[in-house]
């Protein structure tokens, strides 16, 4: 119905225009000037131009507010609340030169948050509603790779730009990549490539490793990449790989296999509550006394839930850690503003929400247009300086953000300067050093239109 309504006045006018200019366009094509002519009168695409006709634009946000990822989802949501407020009020523009004034191209951002329930279907349903009913000009948010990939596919189908939320799977910017999807979190490959040299140096070469792997795209990605780089850099061998269903509560039978595997290192790939529970139970089985613990992608709130006593000496990577505030002025601004409002240091899911939204807003400002093709092409060729992670850019071939990867190690309780000082940044590996070779994951971005 909505599609029908919107077509009446605009399309009729455009049809008249097209009819009268068809002959001229034919002549321009012959003269090689067609691209300029096409730019002058782009076809309606996705929710454009209907979504940008008023004095505000709508952004569709999805977060897991219920289900096993709800804690990270709440953090994610807070990141969106804060960044949209900062963009609308012009506060972010005062601290970051890529933005101008209040809103985006002078338009205020409206948004709604849909609950993904930690699984793909409700997320896709909510974003479909935002696109069809609210004419969302951009969609964003997830804390699960399966959900992120499903929303990316929806974005490609509906031709609406998708700034992907939290998603670590290689597939997100690999075999499932989309022209309309952009991901800022380091892929499992990038995280593993950054982490491997550090853990090999700290723990030693030629170790036997036990893996606990959640049974979905993210788990397999992290396992593949981590085992590949630790073998390559330090000759680490797989002692056992325990594949566990998502949402497992009692890990005893898997942990007994790990305890009996003769491994020196325990790499826990599980995420969220699953990682917290399995690590806690590994401690109860005495595994952490015998093996060094490595968590390739540390979950939000993990240290708060497990305590510093258990997390000390644990190696892992993050999308963002609040300790980066000492290195990047915008990170300092973000951490301070977040803490002022929510009374805790932001976790990295909040950071992804903040960064992805601000990069999109800056791109629209630079392109001077909300037209999806302009936005995508600008995102593909822009380098953003002075962000919360320094200078970053999206790889044009995969839409993966090329950004530094923080490698952290858990602080000893006695070394903590305040209650949130759980980690020390062991390294900030430049993004370009962690990127896979061109075409490595078989990404084929779809069409622009």
Q: Interface with another protein by CB under 8 A: which residues?
A: 66-71, 73-74, 215, 242-245, 247-250, 252-254, 256-257, 259-260, 273, 276-277, 280-281, 284-286, 301, 304-305, 307
CA angle (158 as vertex; 156, 163 as ends), nearest 5: 55
How far the first Cα of the chain sits from its last, in Å, is 22
Torsion-angle region of 160 (φ positive above 0: left; ψ -120 to 50: alpha; else: beta): beta
* Euclidean distance between CA atoms 239 and 253, whole angstroms: 16
- Minimum distance from residue 261 beta carbon to another protein (Å): 9
Q: Which structure tokens are listed for 150?
A: 């499903």
Q: How far is the CB of 80 from another protein (least distance, A)?
A: 17
Say which residue the tokens 């370009």 belong to.
Answer: 432
Q: Which is nearer to another protein, 47 or 299 (CB)?
A: 299
Q: How far apart are CA 58 and CA 290, in angstroms?
A: 53
Buried b (16+ CB within 10 A) or exposed e, 283-297: beeebbeebbbbbbb
Identity of the residue, 26 or 247, whose beta carbon is nearer to another protein in the bound complex: 247
Residue with Cβ nearer another protein (128 or 242): 242
> Given the complex with another protein, which of 254 and 333 has the nearer CB atom?
254
Question: Residue 392 is encoded by which pair of tokens?
Answer: 């970053």
| Residue 211 or 394 with smaller CB distance to another protein | 211
For 81, other C-beta atoms within 10 Å of its C-beta total 19
The distance of closest approach from Cβ of residue 141 to another protein in the complex, given in angstroms and rounded to an integer, is: 16
Going by the DSSP 8-state scheme, the letter that residue 43 receives in this structure is P
Taken in order 64, 65, 67, 72, is the CA torsion positive or negative? positive
**Would you call the peptide bond into 42 cis, given omega within 30 degrees of 0 as the criterion?**
no
Q: How far is the CB of 79 from another protein (least distance, A)?
A: 16
Cβ nearer to another protein, comparing 122 with 181: 122
Question: Closer CB to another protein, residue 66 or residue 385?
Answer: 66
CB 146 within 8 A of CB 167: no
Residue with tokens 């540390």: 298
In the complex with another protein, which residue's Cβ is closer, 172 or 242?
242
CB-nearer residue toward another protein: 66 or 206: 66
Closest approach, Cβ 250 to another protein, in A, equals 6
Q: Report in angstroms how near the CB of residue 338 gets to another protein at its nearest.
A: 17
**CB nearer another protein, residue 277 or residue 331:** 277
Burial of 163 (0-12, 13-18, 19+ CB in 10 A): buried
Nearest to 205 by CA among 226, 241, 228, 233: 233
Pick from 4, 117, 126: which is nearest to 58 by CA? 126
Place of tokens 């506060």: 91
Q: State the Cα–Cα distance between residues 230 and 200, nearest whole angstrom.
A: 7
Q: Report residue 215: phi and psi, to 5°.
A: -85, 65
Based on DSSP, count helices (H) and strands (E) in the chain, helices before strands: 17, 15
Distance in Å, CB of 254 to another protein, minimum: 5
Residue 323 CB, shortest distance to another protein, in Å, is 21
Rounded to the nearest whole angstrom, what is the least distance from the CB of residue 105 to another protein in the complex?
36
Q: How far is the CB of 213 from another protein (least distance, A)?
A: 9
């Amino acid at each position: 119905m909505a599609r029908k309504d919107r077509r009446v006045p605009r399309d009729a006018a455009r049809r008249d225009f097209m009819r009268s200019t068809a002959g001229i366009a034919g002549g321009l094509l012959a003269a090689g000037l067609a691209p300029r002519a096409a730019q002058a009168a782009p076809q309606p695409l996705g929710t454009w131009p209907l979504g940008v006709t008023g004095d505000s634009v709508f952004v569709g946000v999805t977060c897991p507010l219920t289900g096993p990822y709800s804690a990270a989802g709440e953090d994610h949501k807070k990141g969106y609340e804060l960044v949209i407020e900062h963009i609308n009020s012009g506060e972010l523009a005062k601290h970051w030169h890529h933005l101008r004034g209040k809103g985006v191209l002078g338009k205020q951002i409206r948004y709604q948050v849909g609950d993904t329930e930690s699984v793909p279907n409700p997320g896709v349903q909510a974003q479909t509603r935002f696109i069809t009913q609210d004419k969302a000009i951009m969609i964003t948010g997830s804390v699960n790779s399966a959900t992120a990939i499903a929303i990316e596919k929806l974005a490609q189908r509906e031709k609406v730009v998708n700034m992907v939320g939290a998603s670590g799977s290689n597939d997100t910017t690999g075999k499932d990549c989309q022209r309309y999807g952009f991901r800022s979190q380091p892929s499992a490959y990038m995280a593993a490539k950054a982490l491997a040299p550090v853990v090999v140096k700290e723990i030693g070469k030629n170790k036997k490793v036990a893996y606990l792997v959640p049974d979905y795209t993210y788990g397999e990605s992290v396992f593949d990449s981590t085992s590949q780089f630790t073998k390559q850099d330090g000759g680490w061998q797989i002692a056992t790989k325990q594949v566990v269903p998502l949402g497992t509560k009692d890990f005893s039978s898997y942990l007994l296999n790990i305890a009996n595997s003769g491994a020196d290192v325990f790499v826990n790939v599980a995420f969220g509550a699953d990682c917290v529970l399995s690590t806690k139970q590994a401690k109860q089985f005495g595994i952490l006394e015998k093996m060094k613990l490595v968590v390739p992608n540390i979950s939000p709130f993990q240290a708060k839930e497990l305590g510093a006593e258990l997390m000390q000496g644990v190696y892992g990577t993050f999308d963002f850690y609040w300790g980066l505030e000492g290195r990047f002025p915008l990170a300092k601004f973000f951490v301070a503003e977040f803490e002022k409002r929510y009374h805790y240091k932001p976790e990295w899911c909040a950071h992804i929400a903040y960064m992805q939204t601000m990069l999109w807003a800056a791109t629209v400002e630079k392109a001077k247009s909300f037209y999806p093709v302009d936005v995508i092409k600008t995102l593909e060729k822009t380098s953003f300086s002075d962000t919360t992670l320094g200078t970053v850019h999206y790889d044009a071939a995969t839409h993966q953000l090329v950004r530094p990867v923080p490698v952290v190690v858990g602080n000893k309780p006695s070394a903590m300067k305040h209650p949130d000082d759980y980690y020390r940044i062991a390294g900030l590996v430049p993004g370009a050093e962690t990127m896979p070779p061109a075409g490595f994951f078989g990404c084929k971005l779809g069409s622009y239109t």
